[in-house]
Amino acid sequence: MYLEITIFLGRLDDSVRPVRLRKVVLGYNFQETKQSMFQFDISLSYKLASVINSYSENKPSLVVSTVLGIIVA
């Protein structure tokens, strides 16, 4: 018995998605002279709940932080 696996490597545009995605990009300034990376991380952690509440509309959400390398689902 053989299992056939097809792999698609490429980009799909939003027209093929069953549910439309809304992408929101927020930026926060890190002021190296006023705070450490640890303090910046803590400040982002405190802001996370309000950001999710603002944009999720009580639906599952994905938050990606490129600075800290964290993905929260």
SS3 category, 51: helix
**Separation between Cα atoms, residue 73 and residue 61, nearest integer Å:** 6
What is the reported pTM? 0.56
Question: What pLDDT, in 10s, does the model give residues 13-72?
Answer: 778 878 888 888 888 888 888 888 888 888 888 988 898 899 888 888 887 777 655 555
Report CA 51 to chain centroid distance, whole Å.
11
Strands (E), 1-73: 63-65, 70-72
**Separation between Cα atoms, residue 61 and residue 64, nearest integer Å:** 10
